[in-house]
Amino acid sequence: MTLFISLTETCQKIASTSSRLEKMRILNDFLRKLSREEIKPAINLILGRIAGKGEIKTGISSGIILSALKKVLGDNFKFRDKCKESADLGEYVECLLKSFKPVKQQVFLETTYSLKGIYEVLRKAFLLKGKKSKEKKEEIVASLLTNLTPSESKYLVNIILGDLRIGLEEGTVEQALAKLLNLNIETVKRANMLLGDISETVYLGLTDKKSLLTAKIQLFKPIKPMLAETAENLKEIFDEMHGPVSLEPKLDGARVQIHHSKGKTKIFTRRLSEVTNSLPEIITLTKQEFTSADYIVEGEVVAVSRKGEILPFNYLMRRFRRTKEITEISEKIKLKLFLFDILYYQGKQLIDAPYEQRREKLVGEFGRENVVPALLTKNDKKAEEFFLNCVKEGHEGVMAKNPKSIYEPGKRGKNWLKLKKTLTLDLVIVGAQWGYGRRRKWLSDYFLAVWNESKTDLLIVGKTFKGLTDQEFEWITKKLLEKKLREKGYVVWVKPEIVVETAFNEIQKSKLYPSGYVLRFARIKNIRFDKELKEADTIKEVKKIFETQKKRNLEKIWRSFSA
């Protein structure tokens, strides 16, 4: 039986080196010692994946952790200023537990200290729902903090928050596994993409190496979506794709992956969470209009008004977050599905077929009326016309796809390029200021940050209060107060968790923020519930936009169009 402490010691060692190779060696030494049933819990713990596929809703917030800490420290909690509250809540908890001996509340069975035991306790806590769940979660965290050492508690807290801060990413785990098994990294990556769950990949690798070589898409196990890089203009698209390109409207909706077999349907989001119950009309559509064959298809769901106009992304997210009262909302907000890819059909994996063949199959089996329109062209005038038309119809821009390209799960590459009408970055809210006037009851002026290149630190690139509705201000205020780290004057600094898609006109160099850049005329377009914290943009994208904005002709195209 492996103890939790051996996992936290491994975390400590991994954090203490910046060498990727060394991190891999330490991880592999640890993996070698594990029994079969410990492999998945260990990987999920070490990557902070307890919540499972980014389910913020079911998680334990920093607010719950602080209340639990208060319980554990009793009267000593009032001396909490002894430790500095930093962005690393785990360190803060460790410091306080070290300073004030916790009151023992209950004696643990020895097995609860095991890696597997802790994992199961946390899973149980995460799955708690309903009225009393907050109190119950608090009790669970309090008893863990009472019984673990301060150093174990530090890692426990950061595991719970999904941010271990040890510099270990999924990619490094893949590399470590490839090394351990003496396999090509591409083989491991591909298997991981198809399996869609790194803990499953490591488990299969360590228990049945051959199965990684033959990994296949499985129905009802979501696959990581293929992603697009950003193009600056149409010329870049033609240069990259060398030949005709397939242009599709970039719909402003939410991506879904639909798995169907023997009359049963499941729908997954871009983050691989299941949302079947939130989208009853898509299920009806699959039952009434789609083929009864086995398939996995992808598409974009958009919200449409009663008049049939496409509504902004926010309306859609309202639907995705609720499962109750669906009928009431669905009367107001209709959904429309536009399919754009097919990955599997009747026992056949299609991801290795070129895009043009996949599209033909999609149209053939599902009908042109259910598939997003496309233009195959190598003519730049026709492409520009298509782009302008898409913008006119209210779409975000265009998606350009290389007709000869295969579907590469989880990969952001140049075979799919997106060209948007407005510049946007996905930024993280790290702090907020109380508003004034009408907005005084809300934290409504947000400090927005990008990741540094190694994704270990967040760097502020701007501040804005523009773009959100009153309901959104209200919701964000509530969420931010739950994540509050410290408050100074009018500013509340928070644990980063909310990703917002932010539009802006230009990037300028600035000494105002340590990032060295500031966004001009920033406005929040959408709260990205479908993006994980680590998926926000990095300073690399900021620099790229800064460097290329002078050459940008996209703005020109847009201006000539709107003139």
Token pair, residue 549, equals 């904005």
| Closest C-alpha to 351, from 289, 411, 303 | 411
Binding mask 258-297 for ligand ATP (x = CB under 6 A): ------------x---------------------------
> Is residue 245 part of the contact set for ligand ATP (CB under 6 A)?
no
**Interface residue with ligand ATP, options 94, 152, 300, 537 (CB under 6 A):** 300
Residue with token string 């699959």: 286
Comparing CB distances to ligand ATP, the nearer of 106 and 505 is 505
Q: Can you give the length of the chain in residues?
A: 563
Amino acid 433 reads Q
260: enclosing H helix or E strand: strand 254-261
Residues in region 156-215 near ligand ATP by CB under 6 A: none
> Is residue 399 part of the contact set for ligand ATP (CB under 6 A)?
yes
Which sign does the torsion angle of CA 72, 119, 15, 515 carry? negative
**Interface residue with ligand ATP, options 71, 165, 255, 319 (CB under 6 A):** 255
Q: What count of other Cβ atoms lies within 10 Å of the Cβ of residue 529? A: 20
Comparing CB distances to ligand ATP, the nearer of 310 and 485 is 310
What is the C-alpha separation between 431 and 91, in angstroms, rounded? Answer: 20
> Is residue 372 part of the contact set for ligand ATP (CB under 6 A)?
yes
What is the C-alpha separation between 165 and 152, in angstroms, rounded? Answer: 14
Size of the site for ligand ATP (CB under 6 A): 14
Spatial CB neighbours of 428, under 8 Å, sequence gap ≥ 6: 448, 449, 450, 451, 458, 496, 497, 498, 499, 500, 533, 536
> Is residue 408 part of the contact set for ligand ATP (CB under 6 A)?
no
What is each CA distance from 24 to 173, 180, 229, 472, 536, in whole angstroms? 7, 9, 29, 42, 25
> Is residue 499 part of the contact set for ligand ATP (CB under 6 A)?
no
Name the minimum Å distance from CB 400 to ligand ATP.
Answer: 10
What is the C-alpha separation between 539 and 278, in angstroms, rounded? Answer: 35
- Say if CB 496 and CB 430 are below 8 A apart: yes
What is the C-alpha separation between 452 and 537, in angstroms, rounded? Answer: 9
> Is residue 554 part of the contact set for ligand ATP (CB under 6 A)?
no
**Interface residue with ligand ATP, options 418, 455, 523, 552 (CB under 6 A):** 418
The DSSP result for 87-109, as a single string, is S-HHHHHHHHHHHSPPPP--PPP
Between CA 540 and CA 390, with CA 559 as vertex, the angle to 5 degrees is 80
Name the minimum Å distance from CB 420 to ligand ATP.
Answer: 7
> Is residue 302 part of the contact set for ligand ATP (CB under 6 A)?
no
> Is residue 224 part of the contact set for ligand ATP (CB under 6 A)?
no
**Interface residue with ligand ATP, options 227, 272, 388, 491 (CB under 6 A):** 227
Name the minimum Å distance from CB 363 to ligand ATP.
Answer: 14
- Say if CB 342 and CB 365 are below 8 A apart: yes
- Say if CB 279 and CB 256 are below 8 A apart: yes
Comparing CB distances to ligand ATP, the nearer of 265 and 502 is 502
Name the minimum Å distance from CB 397 to ligand ATP.
Answer: 9
Question: Looking at the annotation, which residues are catalytic?
Answer: 250
Name the minimum Å distance from CB 384 to ligand ATP.
Answer: 18
User: What are 400's strand-pairing partners?
Assistant: 247, 417
Residue with token string 């016309």: 385
523: enclosing H helix or E strand: strand 523-527
Comparing CB distances to ligand ATP, the nearer of 189 and 224 is 224
> Is residue 248 part of the contact set for ligand ATP (CB under 6 A)?
yes
Comparing CB distances to ligand ATP, the nearer of 41 and 397 is 397
> Is residue 359 part of the contact set for ligand ATP (CB under 6 A)?
no
Name the minimum Å distance from CB 382 to ligand ATP.
Answer: 17
Name the minimum Å distance from CB 346 to ligand ATP.
Answer: 23
Comparing CB distances to ligand ATP, the nearer of 189 and 401 is 401
Of the candidate spans 147-155, 224-232, 452-460, 465-473, the one that interacts with ligand ATP by CB under 6 A turns out to be 224-232
> Is residue 251 part of the contact set for ligand ATP (CB under 6 A)?
yes
What is the C-alpha separation between 420 and 378, in angstroms, rounded? Answer: 19
Residues in region 326-355 near ligand ATP by CB under 6 A: 340
Name the minimum Å distance from CB 256 to ligand ATP.
Answer: 9
Residues that bind ligand ATP in the complex, under the rule CB under 6 A:
225, 227-228, 248, 250-251, 255, 270, 300, 340, 372, 399, 418, 501
